[in-house]
Amino acid sequence: MQICNIRANFFQKFQWDIYWTLIMIEFRVGGGSMIEKISYFTASYRDGRVYLGGKGRDAGYYAAQLLNEYDKDEFAARLAVFRMENWNTAKQLRAGFLDTATYLKAGDEIKYILTLLPKLRPFSELDIQGELNRIEELFTEQTAERLCEYFRQRALTANMDFGYIFTGHFPKGYDEDFCEETEKLLQTVLETLNFYDRLGDDVADAAKKLRQFVKRTDEAERCDEGHLLPIAIGIFGSAPFDVTTEYVPLKKSGRSKTATVVRRLHFKNYYSFALTDFFEGLQNGHYPRRCQMCGKYFVMTSARQTKYCGGWATELWRGKKITCRNLAAQKKRRERSADDPITVRYNSRCGAIRVEVLRGTITKEFAAAAKVLAKEHKQLAARDPVYAARQYIADMERDKLYADTDARMK
């Protein structure tokens, strides 16, 4: 058993503290990808859609799936257990020494976590095997020995005069190129350890707060961004997300001939991803809701307060599979139009149009054209939550609707 225990007297030296700080600034600010990211954990967003793992879905989809999969097969509890050797390894590396056996056990913990992750989207749709291969290559005895040698060589500079370091004079046995390369390796290891150490807490914290949000959506007068955002901010706060952003071209499907620009986000932890997906969805009128028939969570994409999802119900109807929404209708639990503000506005406007026809203030031809236009607005609002939240009500106002109808008839 090899134990590299070059205690951190050199970390306590003032000169070394300055030298270490300058190196870190150079690696983080300088050109190139000095600090390797968790390579497969990347998502792209545009127009209320999230593109991840080669698939495009409504933004907010993965936040809803977290709620469905959090308690399945004791996933969260099993995920939170395997982190002790991870924590010990990170602590050792930051102190300037390493126990090889502990390092290898940390790799085993991460590999076990990777066997659990296919139970949770988006991980189930990503290259888990590729990440497993990366972990197996990273957590080896050879890597541990390299890190131990790195600490030994760094210790040689502990008592050097500060001026010698910056003039490029190092003690015998110190390999500058080796230390620079291993510095990158050390940062990769630390970021990897941090990602998997946080993962259990990130999943639990995100699921807890998302459930609070779902329970409080009924407090909102209307389920649109303007009414739901204050609730969300009250629950999640305004902490910054640990992500980096770039803009890249992306084809929306395999049949697309041209690409569009999307925001590609690289996440250093799962919590940042879960909240990003949630808020990206919320700003486009998408939010998680719980089906009152099957109990599963789904993504709402309109201001209508739908009670039932469109997925398969957990029970059969006369021996056949049926959706929750259709099963609710069969059981006389059909959703009322009062739950749908889009329909309420449409019915109210059509009723007013009929009254004006009876009073003779508008002609039957004009009324028919106005109803056609109102129905078009209603249909657009039903499929476009952004329009429903920002423009639908204004377009259905009497003066606006009649002016647009008059313009169309001319």
SS (H, E, C) the chain: CCEECCCCCHHHCHHHHHHHHHHHHHHHHCCCCCCCCCCCCEEEEECCEEEECCEEEECCHHHHHHHHHCCHHHHHHHHHHCCHHHHHHHHHHHHCCEEHHHHHHHHHHHHHHHHHHHHCCCHHHCCHHHHHHHHHHHCCHHHHHHHHHHHHHHHCCCCCCHHHHHCCCCCCCCCHHHHHHHHHHHHHHHHHHHHHHHHHHHHHHHHHHHHHHHHHHHHCCCCCHHHHHHHHHHHHCCCCCCEEEEEEEECCCCCCCCCEEEEEEEECCHHHHHHHHHHHHHCCCCEEEECCCCCCEEEECCCCCCCCCCCECCCCECCECCEHHHHHHHCCCCCCHHHCHHHHHHHHHHHHHHHHHHHCCCCHHHHHHHHHHHHHHHHHHHHCHHHHHHCHHHHCCHHHHHHHHHHHHC
pLDDT per residue over 310-345, tens digit each? Answer: 777 777 777 788 787 777 777 665 555 445 677 778
pLDDT above 70 (res 231): yes
Mean pLDDT (whole number) for 49-63: 84
Q: Are 306 and 285 in contact (CB under 8 A)?
A: no
Average pLDDT on 98-102 reads 88
Average pLDDT over residues 287-305: 79
Nearest to 273 by CA among 72, 121, 58, 83: 121
* pTM of the predicted protein model: 0.62
Question: Which tokens in the block code for residue 270?
Answer: 């799962």
82-96, 137-151, 292-306, range with the lowest pLDDT: 292-306
Residue 301 pLDDT > 60: yes
Q: Which residue has the higher pLDDT, 325 or 62?
A: 62
Q: Of 302, 299, 335, 122, nearest to 213 (Cα)? A: 299
Q: What residue has token string 């209603």?
A: 378
CA nearest neighbour of 4 among 77, 93, 72: 93
Rg of the chain over all Cα atoms, to the nearest angstrom? 29
- Residue 377 pLDDT > 50: yes
Residues 13, 19, 20, CA angle at the centre, nearest 5°?
85
Average pLDDT over residues 239-267: 80
Token pair belonging to 143: 């890597």
Is pLDDT above 80 for 174? no
% pLDDT > 90, the chain: 6
Cβ neighbours of residue 324 closer than 8 Å, sequence gap 6 or more: 291, 293, 294, 308, 309, 310, 311, 312, 313
Given a contact cutoff of 8 angstroms between Cβ atoms, the answer to whether 174 and 156 are in contact is: yes
What pLDDT does residue 160 have? 59
Which segment, 48-57, 84-93, 398-407, is predicted with the most confidence on average?
398-407
**Cβ contact 222:303 at 8 Å:** yes
What is the amino acid identity at position 20? W
Q: Provide φ and ψ at 4, rounded to 5°.
A: -95, 110
Residue 3 has pLDDT above 50, yes or no: no
Separation between Cα atoms, residue 41 and residue 265, nearest integer Å? 9
pLDDT at 161: 56
Whether omega for the bond prior to residue 230 falls within 30 degrees of 0, making it cis, is no
Identify whether the C-beta of residue 54 lies closer than 8 Å to the C-beta of residue 178: no
Q: How confident is the model at residue 173 (pLDDT cuts 50, 70, 90)?
A: low
- Average pLDDT over the chain reads 77
